[in-house]
Amino acid sequence: MRQDKKIEEFSKFIIKEAGTEVPSNDFVNNVINTIGFEISKSTVTIYKPLINKQTWLLIGVVLIGLGIYVFASIAESSIMLQTIDVSFLNRFNSINIFEKMKLPTVFVFSSVLFSILVLVQLTVIKKFLNSENSI
């Protein structure tokens, strides 16, 4: 108990001896200037899309051209490919849009593979962005 009183008296003496510090008159201005300097020094990250607009336009034109090529029967006369029979759709009397359309197997498989790869890529990009934003 007596030891604690001595420590307390000694600490009061040291605090009185040292006194409290008083900030300078320009303290607030110095802090604001420092913050302003840090803000002006920081750079903003500008994100660029993975695929730019010209590439999307080119992909769209190629897909539209490929679709016209396939659906206009040019593919049947110039390329001998196996076709998928969609005659099972004849059972539906109200839907006759696929009656005479036969798609090449390569086109169907490539479309399915492309769709699967797009879904995989979207999930990978989403996970990457979520992990980057959580930091």
Task: Give the tokens for residue 134.
Answer: 């959580």
pTM beyond 0.85 = no
Write the CA distances from 35 to 12, 41, 44, 45, 79, integer angstroms. Answer: 36, 10, 16, 20, 69
Asked whether the predicted pLDDT for residue 79 surpasses 60, the reply is no
Amino acid 56 reads: W
CA gap 80, 66 in Å, rounded: 16
DSSP string covering 5-61, please? HHHHHHHHHHHHHH------TTHHHHHHHHHHHHHHHS-PPPP--SS-HHHHHHHHH
Structure confidence at residue 48 (pLDDT): 82
- Domain parsing of the chain, residue ranges: 2-41, 53-133
**pLDDT level of residue 94 (50, 70, 90 thresholds):** low
| Secondary element (H or E) of residue 104 | strand 103-104
**pLDDT level of residue 119 (50, 70, 90 thresholds):** very high
